Amino acid sequence: MTDVEAPATGSLLKIQGLTKYFGTFAACSGIDLAIQPGEIHALLGENGAGKSTLVKMLFGVLQPSEGRILWDGRPVSIGSPGEARQLGIGMVFQHFSLFEALTVAENIALSMDPKIPLAKIAEEAASLSKAYGLPLDPNAHVADLSVGERQRIEIVRALLQNPKLIILDEPTSVLTPQEADKLFETLFKLRSEGRSVLYISHRLEEVQRICDRATVLRHGKVTGACDPKGETPASLARMMVGSDVASVHREAAANLGDVLIDVVNLSVPARTPFAVTLREIGLQVRAGEVMAIAGVAGNGQGELFDALSGEYPVADAEAIRLRGKPVGRTGINGRRLLGAGFVPEERHGHAAVSDMSLSDNLLLSRSQSDRAAFLTGGFAAIIRHDVIRSAAKRICQVMDVRKSGEDPAAGSLSGGNLQKFIIGRELDRQPSVLVVNQPTWGVDAGAASRIRQSLIDLARAGSAVIVISQDLDEIFEVATNIAVISEGRLSKPYPAAELTLERIGLLMGGIHDSTGHAGSPTAPHAGGVHAH
Amino acid sequence: MRIELERRAGASGLFAIVSPLLALALTLIFGAIMFWMLGKNPGHALYSFFIEPLLEVWSLHELAIKAAPLILIAVGLAVCYRSNNWNIGAEGQFTIGAITGSILPILVPQWHSVLVLPLMLIMGAIGGAVFAAIPALLKTRFNTNEILVSLMLVYIAQLFLDWLVRGLWRDPKGFNFPQSISFSTEAVLPEILSSGRAHWGIVFALVAAVAIWFMMRFMLKGFEVSVLGRSERAGRFAGFSGRRMVWFSMMLSGALAGLAGISEVSGSIGHLQPSISPGYGFTAIIVAFLGRLNPLGIIASGFVLALTYLGGEAAQLSIGVSDKVTRVFQGLLLFFVLSCDTLILYRVRVIFGAGRAPAARS
């Protein structure tokens, strides 16, 4: 860990001792950071390390409790995002704030001076997007655009303010490798113009590739400042996590057993105007197999999960079979009773209720599958809180869930710890079928590796596992076979060992392989992927 | 200087208890200011409003009579609100319950049996439940807003009652007064004690409150209510049906409001007339929130709100102010309850100078 102290003079942005308390909890404490003009500066850290709090203070969303922010060498107080923009700070949030029913230009106009005519904004946006290699049609409706294109809107929107510093929060988490490459080119161009970029990420390879300097946060404190190119991913991870991250261990594919998940010709019409229609999906997963479903966000992953879990049963009972039984029209608890477990993408308000305790959240997914143990009193269905609490405790121990208090509210746990609990809640039942959507989305490296290992272990013990993910590193770590979803269609599965990043990127970009349902995973030969 | 609301790490247990008391105190302070502006002695006025009614046995009975429908309706509403279904039409369900419960004593007054009273109560509950099923049906089928539908149905119910007692069900020997025949003794809910008028309504209310409390606290059904109220998506993940919950919560609260309606008519009025409620169905909304949507809390808040009715009547006589004062008090109370509840999840911080607050060190 080398300490690269930037010279005080000439810094575009300098932060001294910045601290933010929420109650007595210090989300950020005594943070020092300096950003030079014309550099891409990485802000690395696990979830809950204080990255978001820090950038929210820089963008005027939160007010610091202590410390100073120096902009161009003079102290400033940033009271609102508007003041931040005036100073020359632009921000691209991880979650976009766009109206899907409006056009690109209209969305941009919403954040601009209302006196500027729409046509002028559209023109400027078009020329800017061309100049920075961010192709964008100002008259397109946002609903029709991919996530990558939506991100471009946010970037162009920030660039229109002519900022000196652009903050990007986890920008590549939703992009294909090709789209990410394009984004990097844009960032290099911004740097060559003397603009600075504060780049928030937990993807170490990326940070090493594009960032000039990095500041690492852990538990709200700076634990390292370094030149990422002089570090290894392992040394960066150590700074982030504080200990060596266990690498996921996967043995060569074991003998595969019976087909436990059999999806044949599954088509589901879109429920809402902005949902994706699933078309003729075919998928077979055998005992002992981890089938990963790759794809860029918003290509039908959520809809596929809904259909597989039975939260929204489908019209054709035969379209989905679990352990040989047709379950298309069976609800989620009926499928759970057959031995299936499900982990949705969104932790808060879907997989868990934030302001309910962990034990209540355990009952949430298992009230029927564990009825005999968790409920009593027959029809009255009286909850046996003591039994559930001890089961929750057991899960927390097995999955190493760190929490404050005996049975805290789910919302008080960090993302990684809550996700470990949610996965552990299903693993505790030893499900013969597990469907997981985005198992490690926004989860710190330590928790992610633990979760991935547990998925592999489950498959090795003879379960069929489906992992829907946008994180290609994760997919290559856990998958025996990989299929790619794009615009509601699923490619045929490919053995993980035979796919390259580039090829998967092409499949994710919408180059379909229409063979769909394949009897058993076969190696893709030269004809497997068609170019345009 | 500016004032900032800062989210607490968790709900404050202290303020969950203090908030209703704080709201009560603020209501009293602003009530005193109101009396002072009306030219009355605030101390004397508040005394005759809130203390005097508690000093005599007969008025304690009146307190129980008024608390009964408030508690019965409010515990039903609490289930509704906890499940995120906003039944505002309990007043209508109360009225329809009173009407359907009165079918037997009005249409077959010659039938004398011990069965009459239980049947009346059941029919009242069913009437209220069916009336509450209308907004449930419209919500689940057409995605209408249950707040508007249930509220509008209140006026339909009230006008229907008005039409009945002025027309079809008017007592032929009643000198053209708009009221039905008086119920026979079998159809009258008996008094509990010989010392006053309080009838079995208050017992129903207490039993219902304890039963609903048990359900919410210990039964899977109560868990389902809480989950669906907080997040319908999580409820769906648990295998609970949001649609069925609309039916369940609306009809449960409708049934309890209907039971309150027939208990009130049978126990304390003895016949149907155009006006059978001083707004119990609406006041119960305040009761529900003042009681923190907790059935046991609702028992306490039901008595508090019942006191505002009694106090209003007393104040009319003793200090000569309009009984609209009751409404003002109830409004103040609801306003302060809702605003004080903010303190449970947020703390207020006053920030001086340019964004640098005195930090709370741990």
d(C-alpha A327, C-alpha B145), whole Å: 34
The reply to whether A451 falls in a domain is no
Question: Residue B204 pLDDT > 90, yes or no?
Answer: yes
The answer to whether the CB of A207 falls within 8 A of the CB of A228 is yes
Please state, as a whole number, how many other Cβ atoms lie within 10 Å of the Cβ of residue B4.
13
Q: Which residues of B touch A363 (CB under 8 A)?
A: 223
Partner B, chain A 11-40, Cβ-Cβ below 8 Å: 19, 21-26
Residue that the structure tokens 């429920």 belong to? A271
Q: Do B234 and A353 touch (CB under 8 A)?
A: yes
The helix (H) or strand (E) run that includes residue A326 is strand A325-326
Number of H helices, E strands in chain A: 17, 23
Same domain as A78, residue A216: yes
Q: What is the pLDDT of residue A252?
A: 55
The reply to whether A386 falls in a domain is yes
Alpha helices in chain B (DSSP H): 13-37, 42-46, 57-82, 90-101, 103-107, 116-142, 146-166, 201-218, 220-230, 232-237, 242-264, 280-290, 295-318, 324-345
Same domain as A190, residue A114: yes
Same domain as A225, residue A285: no
d(C-alpha A56, C-alpha A271), whole Å: 35
pLDDT per residue of chain A (532 residues) written in tens, 0 to 9: 444 444 445 789 999 999 988 766 678 888 999 999 999 999 987 666 788 889 889 998 888 888 999 998 889 988 888 888 888 999 888 777 888 888 888 888 887 777 888 888 888 888 888 888 777 888 888 887 877 788 888 888 888 888 999 999 888 777 777 788 888 988 999 899 999 999 988 777 788 889 999 998 887 888 888 888 888 777 777 777 665 556 666 655 557 889 999 999 999 998 877 788 999 999 999 999 999 998 877 788 999 999 999 999 999 999 999 999 999 999 999 999 999 999 999 888 999 999 899 999 999 999 999 999 999 988 889 999 999 999 999 999 999 888 878 889 898 888 888 999 999 999 999 999 999 999 988 777 788 889 999 999 999 999 999 999 987 778 888 999 999 998 889 999 999 888 877 777 777 765 544 444 333 333 334 333 343 3
Same domain as A403, residue A473: no
d(C-alpha B268, C-alpha B263), whole Å: 8
Residue at a domain's end among A201, A221, A241: A241
Same domain as A109, residue A46: yes
A79 vs B: CB within 8 A: yes
CA separation, residue B361 to residues A28, A30, B358 (Å): 13, 13, 9
Q: Do B218 and A342 touch (CB under 8 A)?
A: no
- A/B interface, count of CB pairs below 8 Å: 96
Please state, as a whole number, how many other Cβ atoms lie within 10 Å of the Cβ of residue A282.
19
Q: What is the pLDDT of residue A73?
A: 87
Q: Do B220 and A381 touch (CB under 8 A)?
A: yes
Find the radius of gyration of the CA atoms of chain A.
24
Same domain as A259, residue A199: no
Average pLDDT over residues B201-226: 96
Domain that holds residue A201: 13-241
Q: Which residue of A has its CA nearest to B219?
A: A382
DSSP for B225-251, written as a single string: HHHHHH-HHHHHHTT--HHHHHHHHHH
The reply to whether B186 falls in a domain is yes
Q: Pairing between strand A165-169 and A89-92?
A: parallel
Burial state string for A300-333 with b = 16 or more CB within 10 A and e = fewer than 16? bbbbbbbbbbbbebbeeeebbbbbeeebbebbbb
Chain B nearest C-alpha distance from A351 (Å):
6
CA A403 to chain centre: 22
The reply to whether A409 falls in a domain is yes
The answer to whether the CB of A169 falls within 8 A of the CB of A94 is yes
A497 vs B: CB within 8 A: no
Q: Do B234 and A367 touch (CB under 8 A)?
A: no
Same domain as A259, residue A283: yes
Mean pLDDT of chain A: 84
Q: Which residues of A touch B348 (CB under 8 A)?
A: none
Domain that holds residue B265: 63-305
Same domain as A354, residue A323: no
Q: Do B357 and A309 touch (CB under 8 A)?
A: no
Q: Which of B31, B130, B72, B38 is nearest to B299 (CA)?
A: B72
Residue at a domain's end among A241, A258, A284: A241
d(C-alpha A249, C-alpha A477), whole Å: 8
Same domain as A437, residue A416: no
Instruction: Provide the domain count of chain B.
Output: 1
Q: Which residues of A touch B355 (CB under 8 A)?
A: 63-64, 77, 79
Same domain as A115, residue A226: yes
The reply to whether A345 falls in a domain is no
Chain B nearest C-alpha distance from A83 (Å):
13
Alpha helices in A289-357 (DSSP H): 301-309, 332-337
User: Roughly what angle, to the nearest 10 degrees, separates helices A177-192 and A501-508?
Assistant: 100
Q: Do A311 and B236 touch (CB under 8 A)?
A: yes
Q: Which residues of B touch A409 (CB under 8 A)?
A: 10
The reply to whether B357 falls in a domain is no
The helix (H) or strand (E) run that includes residue A424 is helix A415-427
Instruction: Provide the domain count of chain A.
Output: 3
Q: Which two tokens stand for residue B212?
A: 């609903």
| Option in B4, B234, B356 nearest A364 (CB) | B234
A194 vs B: CB within 8 A: no
The reply to whether A526 falls in a domain is no
d(C-alpha B63, C-alpha B37), whole Å: 28
The answer to whether the CB of B120 falls within 8 A of the CB of B102 is yes
d(C-alpha B37, C-alpha B360), whole Å: 42
d(C-alpha B127, C-alpha B97), whole Å: 5
Q: Which residues of B touch A26 (CB under 8 A)?
A: 362
d(C-alpha B356, C-alpha B353), whole Å: 6
Burial state string for A65-84 with b = 16 or more CB within 10 A and e = fewer than 16? bbbebbbeeeebebeebeeb
The reply to whether A194 falls in a domain is yes
The ipTM of this complex is: 0.84
Widest CA span of chain B, in angstroms? 81
Residue A516 carries which DSSP code?
-
The reply to whether A3 falls in a domain is no
Q: Nearest 5°: CA angle at A71, between A121 and A80?
A: 55
| Residue A147 belongs to domain with CATH number | 3.40.50.300
Q: Do A63 and B355 touch (CB under 8 A)?
A: yes
**Beta bridge partners of residue A484, listed in sequence order:** A294
Which of A272, A327, A382, A426 is the best substitution to test chain B (most B C-beta atoms within 10 A)? A382
Same domain as A128, residue A264: no
User: Roughly what angle, to the nearest 10 degrees, separates helices B295-318 and B13-37?
Assistant: 10
| Residue B267 belongs to domain with CATH number | 1.10.3470
The reply to whether B41 falls in a domain is no
Give me the percent of chain A exceeding a pLDDT of 90: 37
Q: In 3-state terms, what secondary structure has residue A342?
A: strand
Q: Do B10 and A409 touch (CB under 8 A)?
A: yes
**Beta bridge partners of residue B191, listed in sequence order:** B199
Same domain as A190, residue A334: no
The reply to whether A157 falls in a domain is yes
The answer to whether the CB of A304 falls within 8 A of the CB of A479 is no
Q: Which two tokens stand for residue A32?
A: 């020092």
**Backbone φ, ψ for residue A161 (5° rounding):** -85, 0
**Beta bridge partners of residue A266, listed in sequence order:** A281
Residue at a domain's end among A226, A241, A256: A241
Q: Do A332 and B239 touch (CB under 8 A)?
A: yes
A336 vs B: CB within 8 A: yes
